[in-house]
Structure 1
Amino acid sequence: MSTTHQSSPTPPSSSEEASGPDGPLGREQAHLAASRAALRAMRADAEALDIADVAANWVNAEVLRGQLDARIEALADLADTPLFFGRLDYLTAPGLERTADGTDGGEDEHRFYIGRRHVHDAQGDPMVIDWRAPVSQPFYRASRADPQDVALRRRFGYTGGALTAYEDEHLSDPDEADTGSALLQREIERPRVGPMRDIVATIQPEQDEIVRSGVGGTICVQGAPGTGKTAVGLHRVAYLLYAHRERLARTGTLVVGPNRSFLHYIEQVLPALGELHVKQTTVDDLVAHVPVKGTDTAAAARLKGDARMAEVLRRAVRDGVRMPTEPLVVVRGSRRWRVPAYELEELVRELTARDMRYGAAAEALPQRIAHAVLVRMEAAGEAPDDRVQDAVARSQPVKAAAKAMWPPVDPVKLVLRLLSEPEFLARCADGVLTDDEQKEILWAKPARGVKSALWTAADAVLVDEAMDLVHRTPSLGHVVLDEAQDLSPMQYRAVGRRCTTGSATVLGDLAQGTTPWATASWPEALSHLGKPEARVEELTRGFRVPRQVIAYASRLLPTIAPGLAPATSVRESAGDLVVRRVAPEELDDAVVAACRRALEREGSIGLIAADPRIPELTRTLSAAGLAHLAPGAETSADARLTLVPASLAKGLEYDYVVLDEPAALVDAEPDARTGLRRLYVALTRAVTGLEVVHAAELPEELGAA
């Protein structure tokens, strides 16, 4: 049984547990104050370091200064963020054996405060242990069935940055009943205002297993709404940077999200965990080689995102390769060296068969030709060396011959030509795309040049593929890909190129796929990513969405994702669910009234509506005097109500959600199944309560309210 002790307003259960300086809560508050002082001292020590004469040269000095500045920044104390959130009291000090008399050292060797970063005192002794350290792992995984040598696990409750409560679990006591953690439940249900926060204090065992997985393997997390998959992915990055910092500092990490509003929403999670310099981007920004000004039809976008386009592009890149018809003559001094056409053709065919990057082959061909010349020189009794070979490779005749056989390729101009010239596309897509498919992806009005082209988002991905066919894309050490279910095969390939020699964490939910090319299965998606061996983990225990709300939304699953198990909520509170039907002429007023009711409560409010309804609702809210924000602006203190287009709702969460006219939301999508998936996303954004306001009939899949 766990007992919660608070300083106020609930009185302590005994005088010993009072919040005075001599009581347990007072001592914990004193340790918090001392830890904060130690953290300030650590930062002051870093700021006082004089590195003026340490480095051997100015380059090393700049690198060292950058590392020191990053260290100082990481040691900043966040006043409203708990420095530690838990404590472990071990039966034996980790790494030590008990002596003959049953002791193994002092109390401090058994006790560890678990927090967001490491803090030590002036003597170097730890006051707070980083949550990622091995000694902290039992805080998340120990249980009465498997106490892992933990006698007591203590959780702390905070109000702002002040420690106000604690709760103990005696894991080694077999007679103590497991009633769950009230503080843990309270933290899960705490109102959400502003950007996404970390879940480091509430990580569950199944989440921790994913977070602490090794850096060498790729993991795919299929997670129902509210299971914390995004937070798990971000905490995994933080863990990997702790456990493999030198390796990942060298190779780099990247977080890829669905849109910029989503990235703005999650941007504070990693800094709160002490990781300040992880790059975050979207797939569109990742492949932003051309300005995107146009839009595709759903059919064209689906075809351009099809994996078959990779073969079309491969053919297009090599379309200009030509076999020689004339021998090559190289003049060296007073002698002429002749390489016959058939031998040049053999060199070209060899490079083609090796399937090298086009640019690497273009660089290799002059050297291969020069080597053929050197073989003839040696046969004639000369003794050329590498310098002679390089000189021959750089000679005008060799460079001209190589360029004629293996001409340079501009990836942007290549894709422009492919989408503008029917004959070129037909040649490259022969046997790959049908005639109708080729007509679908051709631009209606061929562009006169690169700058005048109306590039689409799908075109930009094709350009990225072409660029990789010419020159290899640099690989990072680890990539986190969130909301992955909405990516096309070609987008998966674009992300996969960024981690060919590294690993990835793939996060998504097949039931929330809302693009025309949405992922059908994770094995297929992982194959396109280049990680077919990845492990797939499924999270079904929900911590965010209330039971009543997730049960209502799960009525859609048999239609939108028949193979997925519905999520189960561990929330003690069933949540608030209201489904309100009104007359069509009363719809806008009813939505305003629902927003006013939500604003009477604590926390954030999201009004989610079909994209075409947003302009009208903007005018309605303004006329009603309700200040509201757009997604991505939730940090503003001026308003708690956010007007959210359904297309941007994915990944976001609000304490209370008002859902406007579900039928309009479904009808705004190109097909009914996509519309129902979009509705599923919108229904599952609520953390505490959901009110559905509608005038039209609800989709029959939802049944009776």
Structure 2
Amino acid sequence: MTAYAAERAHLEASRAALRRMREETEALDLTDVGGNEVSNKLVADLIQERIAALADFRDAPLFFGRIDGRFADAPDVSTGTAPVEVAADPSRPVESFWIGRRHVHDHLGDPMVVDWRAPVSRSFYRATRTDPRGVELRRRFGWEGGRLTAFEDEHLADVGEQDAASAILAAEIERPRVGPMRDIVATIQPEQDEIVRADLGRTVCVQGAPGTGKTAVGLHRVAWLLYAHRERLARSGTLVVGPNRSFLGYIQQVLPALGEVEVGQTTVEDLVAHVPIKAVDDDEAGRIKGDARMAEILRRAVWSGVRAPEESLLVVRGSRRWRVPAYEVEEIVDALRARDVRYGAARDMLRQRLAHAVLVQMERAGESPDDRVQDAVARSRPVRAMADAVWPAVDPAKLVLRLLSDAEFLAACAHGLLSAEEQAVIRWAKPPRGVGSAKWTVADAVLVDETADLVARTPSLGHVVVDEAQDLSAMQCRAIGRRCSTGSATVLGDIAQGTTPWAAADWATTLRHLGRADARFEELTRGFRVPREILDFASRLLPHIAPGLAPASSVREAPGSLVVQAVRPQAVDIEIVARVRELLAVEGSVGLIAADSAIPGLAAALDTAELPYRHLGFGDGDDARLNLVPASLAKGLEFDHIAVAEPAAIAEAELRGLRRLYVVLTRAVSTLVVVHSRPLPTELADTATD
């Protein structure tokens, strides 16, 4: 049997084994195994998750690589501890491991496909001739859908040879991608693998230039952490936070394809959905509301209601009357304030402390009250009334409503922090009648979230991935940081792509607001998807938008991938539609990107040309290859071919328009066509080539 035939036979045997694993799981009879309805439901859910994880995607390869070598025994990871690297062991016989997206074993339990996250798989990604890590042969497989079509061998034991570029690896990286983002398990590079397998206990911040795969690295890191720390993270939970719903739609299939179906995905807006969002702040109001100073203002506002008692506490039980003097109540209040606990927790403590003061008097009078008596006193009307008077309950939304509506209250809480002019910018000109009628913005919702945490602690998850983090305000960072206060995070972004008025100038500040100042910092500068010609064109903007960053390099050269065409003003829509037709004739996804204000006109032009398209942000035309993308939604997305209309309009549309333009120009994987009638921004003009 030839090597090719043997590999195809192993593929069919592996698929049969996976099918058997799924059928065995489906056949499990676990009726009433939990002993009660809740436990039975939990077991049933776990079984369904297991069945979903064993799905065989016939159009995707079951394995993509193989390593032959001499390895020490792989450590057991069933305890939930992080797996250590498998060491080379020259004394052992040569073993073969097929590397794939999930583990598959035969009827005896022997592995037929090893999960890409397993310790031995690390050698597949990192082995070189100078550091073979026990690997003697590395084989990469070529696929067409789910069909194995080729393989390519590297003999790492041949130390005299030079590492050669992999044609299969290059083809997989450059393969057109229609539809949502795919996983990159077959193409993970050593520097990416180092980040993916970073320890759970450490937050990692990744500064990644366009095309370096930072988003994919973050998603694969979640998948690896769930493999290495399954039990721990199953209890505490994991979450991916993206910049908008279009982005989440783009990445939503990556983790399920890796067998992970329980990772939450959300936006900052949905994360802090305490109030309905009905309005949008202007840039200055959004900048001030997102400033870290607002945290102290809200803290002052929450605690401003605590006051000294105006009279003594009088509790009547039976025929006896017990009085706690006002000065003693004040001492209890002051002591609780000094404890630095959450407002709501301290308020609960207050009732118990007041009840205890009454019990002390009872004991002095010869009575023997127990805990039940103290609880009854704490629930009594006089104690509850005193607690409400000196430590009133706080409704977070109502408090923020008052802060943004009441000029005197805002001035008192913001004294020494915001100027009168800044206060006027964030104060509502016409105070709403109530929480339901207020025109809340996303920044307002973040303030409500901060206030809610001052009242009661926000539950923490085990791990949070936050993408496009350079665009987060300080208050948004605090909201995300609260969700991983006892866990860790993977922070992804690119300072050069910061487009919001409050975008980060450096990672140190962002990490401090996230509560992760000690995060491990990694920088990815080697691009794999975006051709060098396109990156060089877009990188002309870097000295103007992020002078401290080095331009990204690319492993790909694609002559002809960049076209910049000047046309008459009346011909922009006609020419852009013609260019889109040409791009649609080539395999791959197509994005048409323009300034938000130009999108309606382009939509009309596409309708007239009878070209079906999906309008990002509106959800229509979901099956279309062509995507009509407002520039404000382009961040984080990727298309094989992109047509950009009027770069000058994109640059002028907002305060950080050049950064937005940089984002737009770096979304293309194969082709970038720029059509303009107005002069290009001067930062790009000297590189234009028609």
TM-based fold match above 0.5: yes
User: 2:614, 2:620 within 8 Å by CA — same for their partners in 1?
Assistant: no
The one of 630, 634, 638 aligned to 1:649:
634
Q: 2-side partners of 1:394 and 1:449: how far apart? A: 30
Partner-residue secondary structure (3-state), 1:644:
strand
Is 1:24 aligned to 2:3, yes or no?
yes
Partner-residue secondary structure (3-state), 2:592:
strand
Partner-residue secondary structure (3-state), 2:643:
strand
Partner-residue secondary structure (3-state), 1:663:
helix
User: 1:262, 1:632 within 8 Å by CA — same for their partners in 2?
Assistant: no
For 1:89, the equivalent position in structure 2 comes to 68
For 1:317, the equivalent position in structure 2 comes to 302
Map Cα deviations across residues 382-412 of structure 1 (whole Å, 9 max, x no partner).
3222112111111111111111110111111
The one of 456, 465, 469 aligned to 2:441:
456
Q: 1-side partners of 2:439 and 2:554: how far apart? A: 46
User: 1:257, 1:482 within 8 Å by CA — same for their partners in 2?
Assistant: yes
User: 2:104, 2:114 within 8 Å by CA — same for their partners in 1?
Assistant: yes
The one of 50, 57, 60 aligned to 1:78:
57
For 2:502, the equivalent position in structure 1 comes to 517
User: 1:194, 1:635 within 8 Å by CA — same for their partners in 2?
Assistant: no
In structure 1, the gaps of 5 or more residues are 1-21
User: 2:612, 2:621 within 8 Å by CA — same for their partners in 1?
Assistant: no
User: 1:118, 1:126 within 8 Å by CA — same for their partners in 2?
Assistant: yes
Map 1:8-23 → 2, pairs under 5 A: 22-23=1-2
TM-score by length of 1: 0.94
Q: Flag the 1:575–1:363 CA change in 2: closer, same or farther, 3 A.
A: farther
Map Cα deviations across residues 328-379 of structure 1 (whole Å, 9 max, x no partner).
1222333322211111111111111222111111111010111112222223
The one of 58, 63, 70 aligned to 2:37:
58
Matched residue type, 1:661: E
For 1:3, the equivalent position in structure 2 comes to none
Matched residue type, 1:587: V
For 2:82, the equivalent position in structure 1 comes to none
Partner-residue secondary structure (3-state), 2:138:
strand
User: 1:591, 1:693 within 8 Å by CA — same for their partners in 2?
Assistant: yes
Q: 2-side partners of 1:191 and 1:461: how far apart? A: 39
Identity of aligned residues (%): 67
For 2:223, the equivalent position in structure 1 comes to 238
For 1:703, the equivalent position in structure 2 comes to 685
Is 1:677 aligned to 2:677, yes or no?
no
User: 2:533, 2:557 within 8 Å by CA — same for their partners in 1?
Assistant: no
User: 1:94, 1:135 within 8 Å by CA — same for their partners in 2?
Assistant: no
Q: 2-side partners of 1:475 and 1:91: how far apart? A: 42
User: 2:204, 2:520 within 8 Å by CA — same for their partners in 1?
Assistant: yes
Map Cα deviations across residues 289-332 of structure 1 (whole Å, 9 max, x no partner).
11111121111111011111111111111111110121212223
The one of 592, 595, 609 aligned to 1:610:
595
The one of 76, 99, 116 aligned to 1:114:
99
Q: 2-side partners of 1:635 and 1:123: how far apart? A: 50
The one of 356, 366, 389 aligned to 1:371:
356
Q: Flag the 1:92–1:432 CA change in 2: closer, same or farther, 3 A.
A: closer
Q: 1-side partners of 2:449 and 2:622: how far apart? A: 40
Using the TM superposition, give the Cα deviation of residue 582 of structure 1 relative to its aligned residue in structure 2, in angstroms.
Answer: 1.0
Is 1:156 aligned to 2:135, yes or no?
no
Using the TM superposition, give the Cα deviation of residue 633 of structure 1 relative to its aligned residue in structure 2, in angstroms.
Answer: 8.7
For 1:219, the equivalent position in structure 2 comes to 204
Q: 2-side partners of 1:354 and 1:408: how far apart? A: 18
Is 1:499 aligned to 2:484, yes or no?
yes
Matched residue type, 1:686: A
Q: Flag the 1:675–1:160 CA change in 2: closer, same or farther, 3 A.
A: same
Map Cα deviations across residues 612-637 of structure 1 (whole Å, 9 max, x no partner).
00000111111122221123799968
Q: 2-side partners of 1:374 and 1:289: how far apart? A: 40
For 1:690, the equivalent position in structure 2 comes to 672
Using the TM superposition, give the Cα deviation of residue 177 of structure 1 relative to its aligned residue in structure 2, in angstroms.
Answer: 2.3
Is 1:545 aligned to 2:530, yes or no?
yes
- The alignment's C-alpha RMSD in Å is 1.7
For 1:535, the equivalent position in structure 2 comes to 520
Using the TM superposition, give the Cα deviation of residue 94 of structure 1 relative to its aligned residue in structure 2, in angstroms.
Answer: 4.0
In structure 2, the gaps of 5 or more residues are 75-85
Matched residue type, 2:494: D
Q: Which moved more, 1:323-332 or 1:305-314?
A: 323-332
Q: Flag the 1:496–1:97 CA change in 2: closer, same or farther, 3 A.
A: closer
Matched residue type, 1:624: A
- Structure 1 residue ranges (4+ consecutive) displaced by more than 6 angstroms after TM superposition: 96-99, 632-637
User: 1:547, 1:575 within 8 Å by CA — same for their partners in 2?
Assistant: no
Matched residue type, 2:685: G
Q: 1-side partners of 2:469 and 2:559: how far apart? A: 30
Q: 1-side partners of 2:521 and 2:282: how far apart? A: 33
Is 1:422 aligned to 2:407, yes or no?
yes
Matched residue type, 2:31: A
TM-score by length of 2: 0.96
Matched residue type, 2:46: Q
The one of 8, 11, 18 aligned to 1:39:
18
Matched residue type, 2:144: T
Q: Which moved more, 1:202-211 or 1:322-331?
A: 322-331
Partner-residue secondary structure (3-state), 1:137:
helix
For 1:487, the equivalent position in structure 2 comes to 472
For 1:338, the equivalent position in structure 2 comes to 323
User: 1:329, 1:337 within 8 Å by CA — same for their partners in 2?
Assistant: yes
Q: Flag the 1:80–1:337 CA change in 2: closer, same or farther, 3 A.
A: same
User: 1:310, 1:465 within 8 Å by CA — same for their partners in 2?
Assistant: yes
The one of 375, 379, 382 aligned to 1:394:
379
Count residues with an aligned counterpart: 676
Matched residue type, 1:240: L
Q: 2-side partners of 1:690 and 1:305: how far apart? A: 35
Matched residue type, 1:26: A
The one of 325, 335, 351 aligned to 1:350:
335
Map Cα deviations across residues 477-518 of structure 1 (whole Å, 9 max, x no partner).
000000111111011111111111110001000000010111
Q: 2-side partners of 1:694 and 1:349: how far apart? A: 67
Map Cα deviations across residues 37-73 of structure 1 (whole Å, 9 max, x no partner).
1000000000111111432222221111111111111
Map Cα deviations across residues 387-440 of structure 1 (whole Å, 9 max, x no partner).
121111111111111111101111111111111111111111111111111111
Map 1:93-104 → 2, pairs under 5 A: 94=73, 104=92
For 1:576, the equivalent position in structure 2 comes to 561
The one of 628, 646, 650 aligned to 1:665:
650
Q: 1-side partners of 2:615 and 2:255: how far apart? A: 23
Partner-residue secondary structure (3-state), 1:201:
coil
Matched residue type, 1:690: L
Matched residue type, 2:483: R
User: 1:194, 1:634 within 8 Å by CA — same for their partners in 2?
Assistant: no
Matched residue type, 1:513: G
Partner-residue secondary structure (3-state), 2:389:
helix
User: 2:103, 2:111 within 8 Å by CA — same for their partners in 1?
Assistant: yes
Matched residue type, 1:58: E
Matched residue type, 1:274: G
Map Cα deviations across residues 227-275 of structure 1 (whole Å, 9 max, x no partner).
0000000000000000001000000000000000000000000000000
Partner-residue secondary structure (3-state), 1:124:
coil
The one of 589, 596, 599 aligned to 2:584:
599
Using the TM superposition, give the Cα deviation of residue 98 of structure 1 relative to its aligned residue in structure 2, in angstroms.
Answer: 11
User: 1:575, 1:688 within 8 Å by CA — same for their partners in 2?
Assistant: no
Map Cα deviations across residues 523-546 of structure 1 (whole Å, 9 max, x no partner).
100111111111111100001110
Partner-residue secondary structure (3-state), 1:595:
helix
Q: Which moved more, 1:340-349 or 1:40-49?
A: 340-349
Partner-residue secondary structure (3-state), 1:451:
helix
Q: Flag the 1:43–1:457 CA change in 2: closer, same or farther, 3 A.
A: same
